[in-house]
Structure 1
Amino acid sequence: MTRLSAFQRVARQYADIADSLLVYIEEAHPSDGWVSSDAPFQIPRHRCLEDRLRAAELMNQKVPESAIVVDTMENSSNSAYGAYFERLYILKDEKVVYQGGRGPEGYRISELRDWLERYRNELEASDAPVVVHV
């Protein structure tokens, strides 16, 4: 949840130039599987979409101002973006312009912030009102 809070701070800081979205994927540490001792919730493995939606709702209670969607039970977003466990992306004009490392080790909020800051500086230099999706 610490990383999620850091992500939210960056999302708020750059809300004028970037929309943010969280995609809830397959639970990395289900309570009936590879359990994590520091998990804020005890969430069993998702067996159906309703399970995944309930788990996302728990997350939404912790981070209410974030837009959260869920991956399909086929894990199509997770597969397409190689997100497992967590990953940061920036999309612009329907193209990936930033791909962070795989989490947890490769997850770097500082890289995301640096990219967004460079982008903001470019926008200010050109006076072009463009929004990216994070």
Structure 2
Amino acid sequence: MTRLAAFQRVVSQYSDIADFLLVYIEEAHPSDGWVSSDAPYQIPKHRCLEDRLRAAQLMLTEVPGSNVVVDNMDNSSNAAYGAYFERLYIVRDETVVYQGGRGPEGYRISELRNWLDIHS
């Protein structure tokens, strides 16, 4: 959630040329697991879809007006896109045209912005 402000700025800047979607996946640092000391929320490991939906609601409060969907409990979106913990993608005409690195180290909002600048 710490990178959502930068993501929200990109959404605002490029909303006229792109649709943006956040996919909430399993919690990276659950409060009953490997806890991050700088986590803004204490979210336990999701035991059911309702847990995940509640956690996604917290994320939605950080990025109001954004489109947020939730991965299923089988984590099929996470597995398909290798998103664990966070990752940026651009999909055009059902084809992945940009795949950012895996977060947190490979998550670079500046790369996404550069791609959008070049291809818009």
Structure-1-length-normalised TM-score: 0.88
Secondary structure at 1:98's aligned position in 2? strand
Q: Give the drift of 1:66.
A: 1.2
State the distance in 2 between where 1:99 and 1:37 align.
29
CA distance, structure 1, for counterparts of residue 107 and residue 62 of structure 2:
20
SS of 1:23's partner is strand
Relative contact order higher in (CA < 8 Å, ≥ 6 apart): 1
The residue number in structure 2 matching 1:79 is 79
Query: Take 2:36 and 2:2, find their aligned partners in 1: how far apart are those partners?
Result: 15
CA distance in 2, matches of 1:2, 1:28: 13
**Where in structure 1 are there 5+ consecutive unaligned residues?**
121-134
Code of the residue aligned with 2:108 in structure 1: it is R
Number of the residue aligned with 1:109: 109
Residue correspondences, number: 120
Q: Percent identity?
A: 79
**1:51 aligned partner, one-letter code:** D
- Once superposed, what is the RMSD of the aligned Cα atoms? 0.7
Question: What are the equivalent positions in structure 2 for 1:24-39 lying under 5 Å apart?
Answer: 24-39=24-39
- Return structure 1 stretches of 4+ with deviation > 2 angstroms: none
Question: 2: CA distance between counterparts of 1:98 and 1:69?
Answer: 20
Letter in 2 for 1:84: Y
Larger gyration radius, structure 1 or structure 2 = 1
Q: Partner letter of residue 14 of structure 2? A: Y
How many Å apart are 1:51 and its aligned residue? Answer: 0.2
